[in-house]
Structure 1
Amino acid sequence: MAVILVTSRSFSDGDLDLVERAAAAGHRIMRGPAHHDLAELRPLLHGTDAWIAGTGPVTAEHLAAAPKLKVIARYGVGYESVDLTAAATRGIRVTNTPGANADAVADHTIGLMLAALRTIPDGDRRVREGDWSVRRGRELGAATVGIVGFGRIGHGVARRLSGFGARVLASDPFVAEQAVRDAGAEPTDLDDLFRLADVITLHAPGGQRLVDEERLTGIRPGTLLVNTARPDLVDEAALAAALRDGTLTGYAADTLDGDTAASASPLLDAELAARVIVTPHLAAQTTQAVDNMGRMSLDDVIAVLRGDEPTHPVTR
Structure 2
Amino acid sequence: MAGTTGASVTVLGDFAASAGLVASAQDERHWLEVVFPKRDEERRTEALSQANVIWHGLRPLGAADFDQAPNLKLVQKFGVGVDTIDLAAARERGIRVANMPGVNAPAVAEGAVMLMLAAIRALPEQDRRTRAGLWMKDIAYLERSREIAGLTVGLVGYGDIAKRIEQVLLAMRAKVVHTSTKPDGSEDWRGFDDLLAESDVISLHLPGTPNTRKLFDEAAFARMRPGAVFVNTARGSIVDEAALLAALESGHLAAAGLDVFEQEPVDPQNPLLGLRNVVVTSHLTWLTEQTNSRMLATAVENCRRLQRGEPFANQVV
Q: TM-score, normalised by structure 1?
A: 0.90
> Aligned to 2:20, what secondary structure does the other structure show?
coil
The reply to whether residue 170 of structure 1 matches residue 178 of structure 2 is yes
Q: Cα–Cα, structure 1 residues 287 and 223, in superposed 2: closer, same or farther, change >3 Å? A: same
Inter-partner Cα distance in structure 2 for 1:285 and 1:122: 25
Q: Is it true that 1:314 corresponds to 2:316 in the alignment? A: yes
For 2:57 and 2:26, locate their aligned partners in 1 and report how far apart those are by CA, in whole Å.
Answer: 16
Partner in structure 2 of residue 85 of structure 1: 88
Flag the 1:88–1:12 CA change in 2: closer, same or farther, 3 A.
farther
Amino acid at match of 1:217: A
Gaps of 5+ in 2: 1-7
Aligned pair count reads: 302
Aligned equivalent of 1:267, options 263, 272, 284: 272
Residues 34 and 55 in structure 1, CA contact (< 8 A), matched pair in contact too: no
Judged with a 3 Å threshold, the aligned counterparts in structure 2 of structure 1 residues 312 and 200 are, in CA distance, closer, same or farther, namely: same
More displaced stretch, 104-113 vs 117-126: 117-126
Q: Which of 254, 277, 281 is the equivalent residue of 1:279? A: 281
How far does the alpha carbon of each residue in 1:21-80 deviate from its partner, in whole angstroms, 9 at most, with x for none? 3x35x2212222369x5x653222111111111211111011011111111101111111
User: For residues 108-119 of structure 1, what are the structure 2 equivalents within 5 Å?
Assistant: 108-119=111-122
Counterpart of 1:200? 202
Matches of 2:273 and 2:22, distance apart in 1: 35
Relative to 1, partners in 2 of residues 1:146 and 1:34: Cα closer, same or farther, differing over 3 Å? farther
Counterpart mapping for 1:123-162 below 5 A? 123-131=126-134, 132-133=136-137, 134=139, 135-136=142-143, 137-162=145-170
Would you say 1:52 and 2:77 are equivalent positions? no
Corresponding position: 1:250 with 2:274: no
Offset of 1:10 from its aligned partner? 2.6
User: CA contact under 8 A between 1:194 and 1:200: conserved in structure 2?
Assistant: yes
Q: 1:248 corresponds to which letter in structure 2?
A: L
Counterpart contact for 2:75–2:97, Cα < 8 Å = yes
The alignment yields a C-alpha RMSD, in angstroms, of 2.0
| 8 Å Cα contact 2:80-2:101 kept in structure 1 | yes
Match of 2:35 in 1: 30
| Aligned with residue 74 of structure 1, among 77, 83, 89 | 77
Matches of 1:218 and 1:263, distance apart in 2: 29
| 1:217 corresponds to | 222
Q: Which residue in the other structure is 2:11 paired with?
A: 4
Q: Does 1:104 align with 2:107?
A: yes
Please name the residue that 1:230 is paired with: 235
Q: Output the CA distance in 1 between the equivalents of 2:198 and 2:159.
A: 21
Measured in 2, the distance between the counterparts of 1:211 and 1:40 equals: 39
Corresponding residue for 1:94?
97
Distance in 2, Cα, partners of 1:17 & 1:219: 45
Structure 1 unaligned blocks of 5 or more:
none
Identity among equivalent pairs (%): 33
**Shift in Å at residue 12 of structure 1?**
6.9
Match of 2:3 in 1: none
Quick one: distance in 1 between partners of 2:32 and 2:43?
22
Answer yes or no: is the 8 Å Cα contact 2:17–2:36 preserved in 1: no
SS in 2 for 1:165: coil
Which residue identity is paired with 1:4?
A: V
Alpha-carbon distance in structure 2 between the residues aligned to 1:66 and 1:7 = 13
TM-score normalised by structure 2 residue count: 0.90
Which residue of the partner structure matches residue 305 of structure 1?
307
Question: Deviations along 1:205-233, whole A, 9 cap, x unmatched?
Answer: 11322211111121110010000111111
Question: Does the aligned pair in 2 maintain the 1:58–1:83 contact within 8 Å?
Answer: yes
1:120 matched to 2:120? The reply is: no
The residue identity in structure 1 corresponding to 2:193 is D
1:151-208 alpha-carbon deviations (Å, 9 max, x no partner): 111111111111111111101116x614xx3xxx711101111111000000111132
DSSP 3-state at the match of 2:15: coil
Letter in 1 for 2:71: K
Q: Distance in 1 between matches of 2:272 and 2:247?
A: 11
Local SS of the residue matching 1:186: coil
> In the aligned structure 2, how far is the partner of 1:300 from the partner of 1:12?
22
